Amino acid sequence: MESPLETPAVPAGVPSEFAPAAPPARRSSLLREVVETALLTAVIFLIVNAATGRFKIDGSSMEPNLHNDEYVLVDKVTYLLGSPRRGDVVVFYRDRSSKDYIKRVVGLPGETVEMANGVVTIDGLPLSEPYTAPSPKSFPARQLGADEYFMMGDNRSNSQDSRDFGPIERRNIVGRAWIVYWPPSQWAVVSHHSFASAGAP
C-alpha cells in the first residue's frame, strides 16, 4: 500500500505537464532562502556603509600624494577605537559648511604649531615632513585646545587648511583616508606618515 507521504513516480510516457507539482514544503524552503539572502545582503550593505565613507578629491591641495578627481574610501572605525595621529590623512568638515576636506594631521591637542620659511615647528621643534611639496609660507604660533587638531594640505603653496580657517575639533573628523579606488589606474592604499619611528615631535 502506497504511503500518503510519498510522491508517486510518473509512469514512463506520461507528459511532463501531468507530473505532480513540487511539494509546498520545498517551495517554502526556497522562498525562505531567497528572503534570508536578501536580508543578509542588506545587513552587510548597512554595516559597510556605516563603517566607511566615500570622498572625491577636489583640487590639488594634497599633491603630490593625492590627485584631483580621485575617489577615496574613508575608514570611519579606526577613530572610534583611538585618536587621530600626526601624519594621518583624514577627511573632516567645518562647522557651518557642507563641504568636506581631506588634509593631513600636523598638530595635536595642546601643542603649539608654527611655520617659518616653510618649516613647521611643534612646541618649538622642527617637523620633518618628507611628504610635502615645499612652500616658503609662514604663520604665527598657535596653541591648540584640548580637543583641536591642526590640518594642512601636503601642497603647502596651494591648500586652504587650518592656516586659513583654524584648527578642527575632534567631533568634526569623519575618518581616516584608506584606499584610492578610482580611477582604477590610480588604485592604492593611502600613505600615512608615522612620526613615532622618525623620532619627530
Task: List, for residues 98-131, the tens digit of each pLDDT value.
Answer: 789 999 999 999 999 999 988 999 999 999 999 9
Q: Active-site residue numbers?
A: 61, 103
For the chain, which residues make up each domain, given as ranges? 22-50, 54-189
Confirm whether pTM is higher than 0.85: no
pLDDT for the residue numbered 152: 96
pLDDT for the residue numbered 1: 47
pLDDT for the residue numbered 126: 94
In a 13 Å sphere around the CA of 52, the CA atoms on its Cβ side amount to 16
Low-confidence stretches of the chain (pLDDT < 50) are: 1-7, 10, 14, 197-199
Parallel, antiparallel or unpaired: strands 139-143 and 112-116: antiparallel
Class of the CATH domain delimited by 54-189: mainly beta
Closest CA to 108 of 150, 170, 156: 150
Say what the alpha-carbon torsion angle 189, 190, 192, 197 is, to the nearest 10 degrees. 20
